[in-house]
């Protein structure tokens, strides 16, 4: 089993999960995070840290496409190891459903 970042993260990009990850398996896009499924050790400490419930086990219903997306984007986005501030309009986006159209496939800007 691995954990997967799903649609709720898009345009919010809270990084509370990154701070607790013992293996640094999060990768950062312009407006979303993903988990590298081959690096995740299935510890689950990240899941309760997400304020928008955007981290799910890969056994949860409907996460198959998100698992594939996480695996794909983790190959091209930079690794993130420290907590950062959420995106500017995160509070507005947090409650918005169906955000897939807003996903940017661009990597995060270098810090």
Per-residue pLDDT tens digits of the chain, which is 111 residues long:
899 999 999 999 999 999 999 999 999 999 999 999 999 999 999 999 999 999 999 999 999 999 999 999 999 999 999 999 999 999 999 989 999 999 999 999 987
The pLDDT tens digits of the residues spanning 21-51 come to 999 999 999 999 999 999 999 999 999 999 9
Residues with Cβ within 8 Å of 64's Cβ and at least 6 positions away in sequence, in order, are: none
The reported pLDDT for the residue numbered 15 is: 97
The reported pLDDT for the residue numbered 13 is: 96
Q: Is-above-0.85 flag for pTM? A: yes
Which of 81, 82, 75, 94 has the alpha carbon at shortest distance from 31?
Answer: 94
Tokens of residue 54, six digits: 């955007």
- Angstrom CA distances, 103 to 10, 12, 34, stand at 6, 11, 12
Going along the chain from its start, the domains and CATH numbers come out as: 3-81 (3.30.70.20)
């Amino acid at each position: 089993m691995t954990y997967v970042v799903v649609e709720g993260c898009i345009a919010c990009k809270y990084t509370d999960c990154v701070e607790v990850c013992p293996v640094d398996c999060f990768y950062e896009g312009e407006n979303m995070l993903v988990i590298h499924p081959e690096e995740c050790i299935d510890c689950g400490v990240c899941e309760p840290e997400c304020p928008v419930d955007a981290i799910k086990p890969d056994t949860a219903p409907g996460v198959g496409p998100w698992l594939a997306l996480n695996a794909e984007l983790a190959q091209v986005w930079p690794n993130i190891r420290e907590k950062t501030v959420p995106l500017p309009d995160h509070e507005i986006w947090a409650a918005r459903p169906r955000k897939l159209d807003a996903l940017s496939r661009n990597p995060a800007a270098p810090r």
